[in-house]
Every structure is written in C-alpha cells, then in structure tokens.
Amino acid sequence: MSTAPDFRTRLQDWLPKLVLAPSFAVTLLFVYGFIAFTVLLSFTGSKMLPSYNFVGWLNYQKLWALPAWNTAIVNIAIFASLYIIICTAVGLALAIFLDQKIRGEGVLRPIYLYPMALSFIVTGTAWKWFLDPGIGLEKVMHLWGWESFSFTWIKDGDMAIYTIVIAAVWQTSGFVMAMFLAGLRGIDNEILKAAQIDGASNWQLYRRIVIPLLRPAFLSAFVILSHLAIKSYDLVVALTGGGPGRATEMPATFMYSYTFTRNQMGIGASSAVIMLMTIAAIMVPYLYAELKEKK
C-alpha cells in the first residue's frame, strides 16, 4: 500500500506544465526580457551599437526637446483621435443601417470588410497614387470637367496627416462595422419590442436602448483601434514615407529612423518605451478586466 502517486500519475501531473513551459519561457525572454533590455538601453548613451554607459534620463530629455518627436506626438494625437472617432462613427452607422433587413447584406458586408485582409503597404500604395494630384483624383476631376477641383493634401505638409486618416479609416472601418453588427445581433429582440410598445421612436430606441447596450463593442473597438493607431508604421511608410519633409512623422517611424538610420539607439529606445507605456495604459486594464470576468 502506498499513498505516493504512481509514476504515470505524476508524469500526467507534470506534462501540462511541461507543454506550456516553452511558450511561457519564450514569452518571458522575447517579450518581457526584451522590454527590460530596451528600457535599460533607453538610459544609456547607445549610438549605433548598444553600450552600457548610463546617462540617466538624458535620452528622455533630449527626446522631448527634439522637434521631430514633437511633430510625431502632435501627429499621433491628431491621427489617433480622428481615426478612432471616424472609424467608430462610420462603423456604427454602417452596422445600424445594415441591420435594417437590408437586401444584399451578404454582398455588402464582405465589400466593407475586405480591406482588413490587405497589407497596409498595399493600402498605402493604392491610396498614394489615387491621391497623387499628378495622376489621381485631382487629375480625374479636371478631366471630367471640374477644372477648379484641387486636392493636394498628400503633398501638403499641413494636410498630409489627414490622408493617412483616410487610408486607415478605409482599411479598418469595416472591421468596426462587423464588431458593432455582432453586438446589434446579440441584443435581445424582446427588449426592442418592449421599447417600441413603450412608445419609443426609432431615434430614441437607438439612442436610449441600443447604443447603451453596445457599450462592450465600443470598448473593444476603442481598445483595438487605439492599439492599431499607436503601432501604425507600415501605412505611413507606404503612403507618405513620413513626408512631405517630416510632416507625417509618427512615433513608430521616429523610433525606426533614430534607431536604425540615425544611430541614436538610446533615443530610439526611449521613444519605444514611451510607445509601450501608452499602449500598456490602455491594454492592461482592458485585458485585466476581460480575464477577470472570465474566471
């Protein structure tokens, strides 16, 4: 008679953890270890290669004094807020309209959503030439007889950032539509019927009942969009290349150019840390709440 578990039972107890261990170890090293290393670098005077002469907060002070970084911050603020607001508005409107027993919904939905399957590089290429005044929209309008039409945002330092908003909205608003549509379809029809019996007009129905019930979808959309916005690198590279001049510099492009082309690794690292902090401030509470309620 033994009370110690037999070998097979013990092995079975350990197997699950053994199977999970490599992934966890890789995550700890390649994500959290790397984050720690980058944080460390941001406090060093690393130039082209990592070095370990610590300079305290110097990189951060330099960073915030750089006009390029300030441009990047202003741009990301403009881009992220417009992108999130417009995507949400377009997505919500499309979802509500599509939810009105629309004939051909099965055709429209995939059309709204397909840009999400494309690379930002493809999106950027398409919009870059379409918005190019020399061959694109402006020229088309002129050829169609609207001689005074002018659309030169992509070449205009003050307006170029808005072309990035257009292309980004084009790419992801269909996705937001799908999220809201799923939320709408999840609402109990009896609640809507009850509200109609209570005498609510369509407008009141949506404003007072439906939209408040979509709160979780709003939250998810906000989190996903803001995380996409802060990470946006490819689209800027493909659409404007950060230009004209440095007019559409964003933190992601800033980080890349300072680290790999300007040999200012310490400053590049500190900008990456700031990007991480911003995303973490949004993602961590969200993930925490999501995982908590699942338990």
Q: For residues 71 and 123, which CB has a smaller minimum distance to other proteins in the complex?
A: 123
Stretch that binds other proteins, among 68-76, 81-89, 139-147, 151-159 (CB under 8 A): 139-147
Shortest spacing between CB 191 and other proteins, in angstroms: 9
Q: Is 165 in the site for other proteins (CB under 8 A)?
A: no
Q: Is 294 in the site for other proteins (CB under 8 A)?
A: yes
Q: Is 250 in the site for other proteins (CB under 8 A)?
A: no
Shortest spacing between CB 157 and other proteins, in angstroms: 19
CB under 8 Å to 45, separation ≥6 — which residues?
51, 53, 54, 55, 58, 59, 266
Count of residues engaged in binding other proteins, rule: CB under 8 A: 124
Q: Is 26 in the site for other proteins (CB under 8 A)?
A: yes
- Binding other proteins by CB under 8 A: which of 140, 150, 212, 215? 140
Stretch that binds other proteins, among 59-67, 72-80, 116-124, 146-154 (CB under 8 A): 116-124
- Binding other proteins by CB under 8 A: which of 55, 58, 86, 108? 108
Q: Is 27 in the site for other proteins (CB under 8 A)?
A: yes
- State which of positions 167-206 bind other proteins (CB under 8 A): 170, 174-175, 178-179, 182, 184-185, 187-190, 192-193, 196, 202, 205-206
Secondary structure of the chain in HEC code, one letter for each residue? CCCCCCHHHHHHHHHHHHHHHHHHHHHHHHHHHHHHHHHHHCCECCCCCCCCCECCCHHHHHHHHCHHHHHHHHHHHHHHHHHHHHHHHHHHHHHHHHCCCCCCHHHHHHHHHHHHHCCHHHHHHHHHHHCCCCCCHHHHHHHCCCCCCCCCHHHCCCCHHHHHHHHHHHHHHHHHHHHHHHHHHCCCHHHHHHHHHCCCCHHHHHHHHHHHHCHHHHHHHHHHHHHHHHHCCHHHHHHCCCCCCCCCCCHHHHHHHHHHHCCCHHHHHHHHHHHHHHHHHHHHHHHHHHHHHHC
- State which of positions 48-107 bind other proteins (CB under 8 A): 50, 90, 93-94, 97-102
Q: For residues 66 and 192, which CB has a smaller minimum distance to other proteins in the complex?
A: 192
Q: For residues 60 and 115, which CB has a smaller minimum distance to other proteins in the complex?
A: 115
Stretch that binds other proteins, among 52-60, 63-71, 154-162, 220-228 (CB under 8 A): 220-228
> What is the identity of the amino acid at 293?
E
Tokens of 23: 């992934």
> What is the identity of the amino acid at 10?
R
Stretch that binds other proteins, among 65-73, 80-88, 150-158, 285-293 (CB under 8 A): 285-293
Q: For residues 38 and 75, which CB has a smaller minimum distance to other proteins in the complex?
A: 38
d(CA 160, CA 243): 8
Q: For residues 122 and 247, which CB has a smaller minimum distance to other proteins in the complex?
A: 122
